[in-house]
Amino acid sequence: MIRITIQIIKNKDFNVKRKLLILLLLFVTLAGKTQERKYFSLFTDRNLYTSGETLLFKIFGPENESSGIIHIDLINASGKKIVEINKKTTDHQADGFIYLPDSLSSGYYLLCTSTRNNPTLTFNQIYICNRFTGIPEAGTAIRSSETMIVAENQVNDLEIKGINKTSQTRSKVQATIHLPGKLLSQIKGNLWVSIAETISGYNSESFLKSIKPKEDQIVEKDGVILEGFVKDFKTGEPFKNGIVFLSIPDSIPRFNFYRTGSDGYFYFQFDNYYGKIPVVIQGLDPERKRLVKIVLNHQESVPAGISSFENWTVPPELRKIAAQNIDALTFRKIFNQQEITIQPGSRPKAEAYPFYGVPTSVIDPHPFIDLPDFTEISRELLPGVKFRAYNRIPSLQVLNSAMHAYFEDPPLLLIDGIPIHDLNIVKPLGSKDIDRVEICNGERFYGDLAFPGVVAIYTSKSNFSRIVESDDLIKFNLDVIQPAAQLNIPSEKLQNEPDLRKVLLWKPSLKPEETVRLDFETSDIRGSFKLLVRGTTSDGSVFYKEQIFEVN
Amino acid sequence: MTNRILLIITLLGFFTAITANAQETIQKNGNTEKIKGTRFIPYPGYSGSPYLTDKFVVGEIEFLDGIKAGNLELRYSTYRDELIYYNAVISAQILIDKISLKGFSFTDDKGETRVFRRQYYIGLLHEERFFEVLSDGKVSLLVYRKVDLETCDTSYNKFGLAFQPSFYYYIYTADKGYSPIKMNRSSLLSKFSKPNQKLVKKMLRKNKVLIEDEHSFISAWNLIKDKEIEIIF
């Protein structure tokens, strides 16, 4: 009996020990995790810009970031977004560019990096000088006075060789970066190397801010998410079970739809779309009884009070360099020297056939006599399509070839791939306005949507200008993922032109090797330049090494 | 202590489920590739079955871009070589556009997974067909499960028409195309050179494989396939 009791106590002790061990391991794991960088590290090529220039940036994301899309916004001191960029990450890194609008007034601006789910925003402060007015005479500016500054580690054992303290203008330089074996084994992803003009004693700093992330938990993995809200036009309440159409006009138009839940929200993900794409969003009540209103969920500004600001006296040296920069930019504009070349972005593979199916017949009205309106066209040219306007009220019906009878309900009517419900839009279309008409005689299905036949009109202009925006229809150009860009290096043929580059080298994704060779040529710009090497290690921390040299 | 651990695990599981569910909602609702097709018009009531399965079975389709949509109620029409899908949301039988699919698969009532692949067939007729993949590899063993409408005695069917199975078996490679084959021993042996025929015979004898039907033919084929013996097209 005593033996058994001792055994039980021993077992209990063992169980408690085991649990304590598990808890300890859990704690150690969590403690390890908390030390990982959870925010984005954002770096720009320079700190001082002139409006009309191009800003280059590089981002190192945290390892635990689930989102594959990063949003980079240029915002002014009042928090208003001026430029919005979306970048897709590769190995938790991204690089891109921002065209700084000519109209920007001189002052401090913030670059804000965010994702849908990350609760930490990373800000980077830059000074932009207006190219027409320069820095104001007042000599002061408002700048961020944030204290939660992001620190970095400079690695001393990383060597940069081949760069003299001074270099001649327009001279070729060969530099090498030597990575120590220990660091090389710890590096995660690619290295970022840049050589750009720097202003001594003037550095912009990054700072972090916490926000409440979106609660929907939807992750942007391969593309930008467009979200919005459908509400009842009269009551303003969220519209449940509303249908939202997304149309992307193209040679083969793309289409998608979303059925709203009780919250009225809709989401469309644009996987692997690059650049700017035309988009039409329509909302409708499937029973066609109530009117709906579409509201896109787009923030024009970052939350108020995101940063505190203070007055700052512009140093005279900055004013002098800003004036030189304006001159340099003016010359670059005169000689039409582009700072970067944008590489064409890919698009999702074209569909084999339109979403509404392979047409039963395709009619080109041009070989026939000119017909003045769509009533005549349907009567004379379109088989199985009945477009009539009795008492000036137009109606459209398509033949159901399987049943040898006309559908009672109107078909899916499209203009340049965009569904329309107002038949008056097509009524005035004559032969000259129409490129071709595609007809599907039969009931078509697309997901849960059923169409009693399809009439797809492709106009000669194919600019869907006939479709008018309304409460339930929004058309706009959507900025999706920004395509990659490359820094322009002037060719040797243009030796007679001034070379006014401020960025001599921009390699945002260099493969880390024991020895990395860098070949670059200095420009006609004299002053201080900084070679910067940055990367991340497997523990998520960002390291850097810099070397400053003068160009005379 | 155990209760606390259990509570933590439950909470973690709960949050994971919420995250997965939210992503799933957008995937299901807005961004999955949509099934395209036309309404299915039922065939007249002739004798025999125009379908491969007696009823709708749960299966999966694969679109051209490789995206798969699963948990669908599917039925393959052997008569028209069409795939029918039952959409419970709108209570409609939809004939899926053949050109939008790479293939489909389902588990039949015997619990066997049946895989079909859409391939272009160049024969007397040039057309896209759904072939059932009986055995896949460098050389595939395929069957085109066709059902023909043939005349029959009116005592058997009042219209005098009945669906009669008429399956076509092929061996196929992407570069050499199709070569017809029958489900018997001599047809199998004819696909090998004389010296290799002996080898095949020996292999079948050793493994006690007697080719009597489709099932035993597939077993024999899989046995030979692994040995990589050259096949004559």
Beta carbons of B31 and A256 less than 8 Å apart:
yes
Q: Are A61 and A42 in contact (CB under 8 A)?
A: no
pLDDT at B97 (0 to 100): 95
Q: For residues A493 and A306, is the Cβ–Cβ distance under 8 A? A: no
Distance from CA of A258 to the nearest CA of B (A): 5
From CA A170, how far away is CA A149, in angstroms rounded?
37
A216 CB neighbours in chain B (<8 A) are 22
DSSP designation for A536: E
Show the tokens assigned to B164: 């009669």
A120 pLDDT more than 70: yes
Residue ranges for chain B with pLDDT beneath 70? 1-32
For the segment A449-483, what is each residue's pLDDT rounded down to a tens digit?
999 999 999 999 887 788 889 999 999 999 999 99
The alpha carbon of residue B13 and the mean position of all alpha carbons in its chain are separated, in whole angstroms, by: 37
| pLDDT at residue A364 is higher than 80 | yes
Low-confidence winner among A208-212, A233-237, A524-528, B99-103 (lowest mean pLDDT): A208-212
Shortest distance between the Cα of A98 and any Cα of chain B, in A, equals: 29
**From CA B51, how far away is CA B107, in angstroms rounded?**
15
Residue B136 distance to chain A (closest CA, Å): 27
- pLDDT tens, residue by residue, A412-435: 999 999 999 999 999 999 999 999
Higher-pLDDT residue of B32 and A172 is A172
Q: How far is A343 from chain B (nearest CA, A)?
A: 25
**Burial label, A98 (beta-carbon count in 10 A; 0-12, 13-18, 19+):** buried
- Which of A117, A218, A445 would you mutate first to test chain B, the one with the most B CBs within 10 A? A445
Across the interface, whether the CB atoms of B34 and A355 are under 8 A apart is answered yes
Report the C-alpha dihedral over residues A149, A152, A154, A158, rounded to 10 degrees: -150
pLDDT band at A5 (very low <50, low <70, confident <90, very high): very low
**Is pLDDT above 80 for A495?**
no
Contact between residue A413 and residue A438 where contact means Cβ atoms under 8 Å apart: no
B23, B25, B39 ranked by CB distance to A219: nearest: B23
**pLDDT score recorded for residue A357:** 94
User: What residues of chain A lie within 8 A of the CB of B37, using their CB?
Assistant: 357, 444-445
**What is residue A125's predicted lDDT score, i.e. its pLDDT?**
87
Structure tokens at A485: 């860009």
Residue A8: predicted pLDDT: 47
Residues of B in contact with A16 (CB under 8 A): 1
State the smallest CA–CA distance between residue B130 and chain A in angstroms.
18
- Could you tell me which of A545, A550, A525 has the C-alpha nearest to residue A535? A545
Which residues of A are less than 8 Å from B25 in CB distance? 261
The residue-averaged pLDDT of A267-277 equals 90
Test B22 with A271 for CB contact under 8 angstroms.
Answer: no
pLDDT of residue B5: 64
3-state secondary structure B66-124: CCEEEEEEEEEECCCCEEEEEECCCCEEEEECHHHEEEEEEECCCCCEEEEEEEEEECC
Q: How far is A434 from chain B (nearest CA, A)?
A: 26
Question: Are B51 and B33 contacting, i.e. CB atoms less than 8 angstroms apart?
Answer: no
Instruction: Report the pLDDT value the prediction gives residue B60, as an integer from 0 to 100.
Output: 94
pLDDT over 90 at A117, yes or no: no
Q: Name the 3-class secondary structure at A175.
A: strand
ipTM for this prediction: 0.85
pLDDT band at A281 (very low <50, low <70, confident <90, very high): very high
Separation in Å, CA A500 to CA A95, A166, A323, A489: 23, 18, 14, 11
* CA distance to partner chain B, nearest, from residue A389 (Å): 29
Is A14 a residue whose pLDDT tops 70? no
Chain A interface disruption, residue of B12, B14, B26, most A CBs within 10 A: B26
Q: Which residues of A touch B18 (CB under 8 A)?
A: 217
Chosen from B25, B32, B36 to mutate, greatest number of chain A CBs within 10 A: B36
Does the structure show a pLDDT above 50 at A326?
yes
Residue A10: which pLDDT band, with cuts at 50, 70 and 90? low
What residues of chain B lie within 8 A of the CB of A222, using their CB?
Answer: none
Q: Which residues of A touch B1 (CB under 8 A)?
A: 16, 19
Mean pLDDT of A265-271: 91
Name the residue in chain B with its Cα closest to that of A23: B5
Best A24, A29, A116, A217 residue to mutate vs chain B (most B CBs within 10 Å): A217
H-run or E-run covering A24: helix A2-34
Instruction: Report how many Cβ contacts below 8 Å link chain A to chain B.
Output: 80
For an interface test with A, give the residue of B34, B40, B83, B87 to mutate (most A CBs within 10 A).
B34
The candidate with the shortest Cα–Cα distance to A115, out of A73, A71, A83, A79, is A71
A269 and B30: CB-CB below 8 Å? yes
Element (DSSP H or E) covering residue A32: helix A2-34
- Report the C-alpha gap between A276 and A270 in whole angstroms: 11
- Asked if B27 and B40 touch (Cβ cutoff 8 Å), the reply is no
A233 CB-contact burial (10 Å; exposed 0-12 / middle 13-18 / buried 19+)? middle
pTM: 0.83
What is residue A11's predicted lDDT score, i.e. its pLDDT?
A: 56
The alpha-carbon gap from A27 to the nearest alpha carbon of chain B, in Å, equals 13
Question: What pLDDT is stored for residue A26 in this prediction?
Answer: 58
Is pLDDT at A444 greater than 60 in this prediction? yes
On whether the CB atoms of residues B199 and B229 are closer than 8 A, the answer is: yes
CA distances from A231 to A235, A293, A420 (A): 8, 5, 20
pLDDT of A32 reads: 46
Higher pLDDT among residues A303 and B60, named by residue: B60
Mark out chain B residues that contact chain A at CB-CB < 8 A.
Answer: 1-2, 5, 18-19, 22-23, 25-26, 29-31, 34-39, 41, 64-65, 87, 89-90, 92, 94, 97, 99-100
Average pLDDT over residues A385-391: 88
pLDDT at B18: 46
What pLDDT is recorded for position A315? Answer: 79
The mean per-residue pLDDT over the stretch A183-198 comes to 92
- Measured between beta carbons, the chain A residues lying within 8 angstroms of B87 are 445, 448
Helix (H, G, I), strand (E, B) or coil at A137: coil
Mean residue pLDDT across chain A: 86
Which residue among A19, A268, A443 places its CB closest to the CB of B30? A268
Q: Which of A190, A277, A208, A186 is nearest to A476 (CA)?
A: A277
Tokens of A424: 């008056």
Report chain A residues whose CB lies below 8 A from the CB of B92: 445, 450
Residue A441 pLDDT > 90: yes
Judge whether residue A309 has pLDDT over 50: yes
| Least confident interval from A36-40, A212-216, A502-506, B126-130 | A212-216
In chain B, pLDDT over 70 holds for what percent of residues? 86
